[in-house]
Copies of this chain bind each other. A is one copy, B any other.
């Protein structure tokens, strides 16, 4: 023995080296090549030798170094997932679904948040490139991420919203149609003054939800009142303030369609603060079905997306693309459903 064993070093208080395949090979009295074959199961190894190697590996608690393996094979087993805000249940569930799908396929998930910032998103993308992840699932905030990652030959799937339609895969829902249907529902109940709360119309989500709302009104011959389309900010507070303002006007809407769960929360809080009764004084529907919407009274009628399925599908699509890098980009459309609860009813007679 030319070198002290690990146990001796440990007893001496020295730093314990992690066991490498070389240690395993020496302990089993074989070469590194043979040890590798025994451990990976590729190539010929005599059964007794294989046993010796496996025993040695167990004994030494050998865990192969994934980074070294990647370096040699140039095949990574981790996926990047990049979302806006984990505190938002929508993204949390999306990430949970993605993580589960990844794990199920033997991948691990590197998760990053960008808080909706383009720069933060690019920074995260750069980290993913540096880590040589096998692919990335992203809820994009600009076209730049997909472009950047594609340039670096990293497969991307856009999920929830789409900025690079046609260039990369995407998994989305039919925002236009769902928004139209739910607006239609309000119109059918007799509503004519229907407000839309929306944060952003430059993303596909916002744009399509807006157009769906618009389409439903047009089709019913209800004139579009620009004052009823409220572009509040991103967060609950902004939506809350905007809702308080709108709901206090003398000709307030009889119904509100909130284009996402954050906006719905703002409107809900505003109605509560103003002691307006939902749905008696004002009906409320939401795009996105957040957990709280089934807990409050009345429960909120909402367009529900299966966020987990969104994440899972995105990961599955990503792995398909990794397997077939040159196939044409696909946009997968997931279904939504309207969950009927008790936050909408016919408007009070004037």
Chain A residues close to B by CB (< 8 Å): 16, 18, 61, 63-68, 70-71, 78, 85-87, 89, 92-93, 95-96, 99-100, 103, 108-113, 126-127, 129-132, 151-153, 265, 268-269, 272, 291-292, 295-297
Q: Give chain B residues whose Cβ lies under 8 Å from the Cβ of A89.
A: 87, 89, 92, 291
Q: A63-B130, A86-B99, A295-B292 are in contact. Are A108 and B110 (CB under 8 A)?
A: yes
Separation in Å of the A349 CB from the closest CB of chain B?
27
**Beta-carbon contact of B78 and A86 below 8 Å:** no
Q: Give chain B residues whose Cβ lies under 8 Å from the Cβ of A68.
A: 67, 71
Q: Give chain B residues whose Cβ lies under 8 Å from the Cβ of A111.
A: 95, 99, 109-111
Chain B residue at smallest Cβ distance from A106:
B127
Q: Which 3 pairs from chain A and chain B are nearest by CB?
A: A292-B292, A86-B96, A92-B92
Q: Which of A16, A93, A132 gathers the greatest number of chain B CB atoms within 10 Å?
A: A132
Separation in Å of the A99 CB from the closest CB of chain B?
6
Separation in Å of the A117 CB from the closest CB of chain B?
12
Q: Give chain B residues whose Cβ lies under 8 Å from the Cβ of A113.
A: 96, 99-100, 103
Separation in Å of the A276 CB from the closest CB of chain B?
13
Our pick among B16, B66, B96, B151 for the contact of A130 (Cβ within 8 Å) is B66
Q: How many copies does the complex hold?
A: 2
Chain B residue at smallest Cβ distance from A148:
B61
A-B contact list, 16 entries, CB within 8 Å: A18-B153, A63-B152, A64-B130, A66-B130, A66-B132, A67-B67, A67-B131, A68-B71, A86-B92, A87-B96, A95-B111, A108-B131, A265-B295, A291-B292, A295-B295, A296-B297
Chain B residue at smallest Cβ distance from A113:
B99
Our pick among B61, B109, B296 for the contact of A296 (Cβ within 8 Å) is B296
Q: Give chain B residues whose Cβ lies under 8 Å from the Cβ of A291.
A: 89, 291-292
**Beta-carbon contact of A272 and B292 below 8 Å:** no
**Beta-carbon contact of A108 and B86 below 8 Å:** no
Separation in Å of the A75 CB from the closest CB of chain B?
11
Q: Give chain B residues whose Cβ lies under 8 Å from the Cβ of A295.
A: 265, 268-269, 292, 295-296
**Beta-carbon contact of A63 and B129 below 8 Å:** yes
Report how far A340 CA is from B65 CA in the complex, Å. Answer: 51
**Beta-carbon contact of A272 and B297 below 8 Å:** yes
Separation in Å of the A135 CB from the closest CB of chain B?
15
**Beta-carbon contact of A110 and B16 below 8 Å:** no
Separation in Å of the A59 CB from the closest CB of chain B?
13
Q: Which of A93, A99, A108, A152 gathers the greatest number of chain B CB atoms within 10 Å?
A: A108
Q: Give chain B residues whose Cβ lies under 8 Å from the Cβ of A296.
A: 292, 295-297
Q: Give chain B residues whose Cβ lies under 8 Å from the Cβ of A110.
A: 78, 108-111
Q: Which of A18, A87, A110, A269 gathers the greatest number of chain B CB atoms within 10 Å?
A: A87
Q: Give chain B residues whose Cβ lies under 8 Å from the Cβ of A265.
A: 295
